Amino acid sequence: MARTMNLVLHVWRQKSRGAPGKLVRYEAKHVSEHMSFLEMLDVVNEELAKKGEDPIAFDHDCREGICGACGVVINGVAHGPLRGTTICQLHMRSFKDGDELTIEPWRAGAFPIIRDLVVDRGAFDRIIQAGGYISLRTGSAPEANSLPVAKGDSDAAFDAATCIGCGACVAACPNASAALFTAAKISHLALLPQGEPERADRARNMVAQMDAENFGHCTSHGECEAVCPKGISIGFIAKMNRELLSAMATAPNDVPRRKK
Ligand code: SF4
Ligand code: FES
């Protein structure tokens, strides 16, 4: 039989970006160990709705760990206590009866709060717009062996491509740096022949956009890698720096595009 638990939640409530926010205490009762963290919040919200109170706003979409929409800080840890897991895949069996959980949104100047636990991650979209694309014609898949890619490169490109853009790396970093996210996106395409035409521009423009969005600089704390639900390695940040240096060496006077 499923174990159930009663929890005390302290949830960040904030009506809008400019409104004052505060932690509000709620009780989550008879929570099944099989529920995901988001399902537990759904149950709390149903109780709030019954009482005519505003539900807690939180982001979610796929609920299977692939879209990057969900994410909150639980007791100071982005995505909670289970490594390599988004909160939609975090099950309540990771907690025990009587636990008190403080639930907060991602905290970063570049991710302003929209409401409660929902933040604006548009800065990530603008970094992608600055260079996270290729100019090759899309269409039907080419014959698999017509474009050979070394096994090591394809594996590393795949590893980088698993970044889901959730923003936990920024939330965990003491500098609120977006280096891990940007590095994953730059590396993914830099490792593949399809990414070659824009390779130098991509590195320059995505890093410039990251700086323009007021993310902090990476000082190698490694907190990003520790909370990343996809296990993206900070080794990709070194690759991003190499890509940038090489791009600057090939066109040192090229002024990067910055969009705001
Ligand atoms: S690097 Fe990891 S933590 Fe950062 S956005 Fe990508 S998946 Fe999320
Ligand atoms: S809701 Fe899509 S990753 Fe969690």
Q: Is the CB of 163 under 6 A from ligand 1?
A: yes
Q: Which ligand is nearest to the CA of 86?
A: 2
**pTM of structure:** 0.94
Instruction: Output the residue whose Cα is nearest ligand 1's atom 1.
Output: 181
Q: How far is the CA of 142 from the centre of ligand 2 (A)?
A: 31
Tell me the mean pLDDT in the region 186-196: 95
Q: Which ligand is nearest to the CA of 161?
A: 1
Q: Which ligand is nearest to the CA of 237?
A: 1
* 90 pLDDT more than 90: yes
Q: How confident is the model at residue 256 (pLDDT cuts 50, 70, 90)?
A: low
Q: How far is the CA of 71 from the centre of ligand 2 (A)?
A: 8
Q: For residue 232, give the amino acid letter.
A: I
Q: Pocket of ligand 1, candidates 89, 124, 127, 163: which has the most ligand atoms within 8 Å of its Cβ, to mutate?
A: 163
When the pLDDT of each residue in the chain is averaged and rounded to a whole number, the result is: 94
Sign, Cα dihedral of 176, 179, 182, 184: negative
Task: Render the burial of 186-217: b for 16+ CB within 10 Å, e for the rest.
Answer: bbbbbbbeebeebbbbbbbbbbbbbebbebbe
Q: Which ligand is nearest to the CA of 59?
A: 2
Instruction: Output the residue whose Cα is nearest ligand 1's atom 5.
Output: 165
Tell me the mean pLDDT in the region 124-136: 94
Beta pairing, strands 4-13 & 73-74: unpaired
Q: Pocket of ligand 1, candidates 173, 175, 232, 234: which has the most ligand atoms within 8 Å of its Cβ, to mutate?
A: 232
Instruction: Output the residue whose Cα is nearest ligand 2's atom 3.
Output: 65
Length of the chain as a residue count:
260
Q: How confident is the model at residue 141 (pLDDT cuts 50, 70, 90)?
A: confident
Tell me the mean pLDDT in the region 81-91: 97
Q: Is the CB of 230 under 6 A from ligand 1?
A: yes
Strand order in the sheet with 73-74: 22-32, 4-13, 100-104, 73-74, 77-78
Torsion of CA 80, 84, 90, 92, to 10 degrees: -70
Which helix (H) or strand (E) segment holds residue 42: the answer is helix 37-50
Nearest-5° Cα angle at 221, 220 to 224: 100
Could you report the per-residue pLDDT of 158-183, keeping only the tens digit for each?
999 999 999 999 999 999 999 999 99
* 93 pLDDT more than 80: yes
Burial-class residue 114 by CB neighbours within 10 Å (0-12, 13-18, 19+).
middle
Nearest-5° Cα angle at 81, 72 to 227: 65
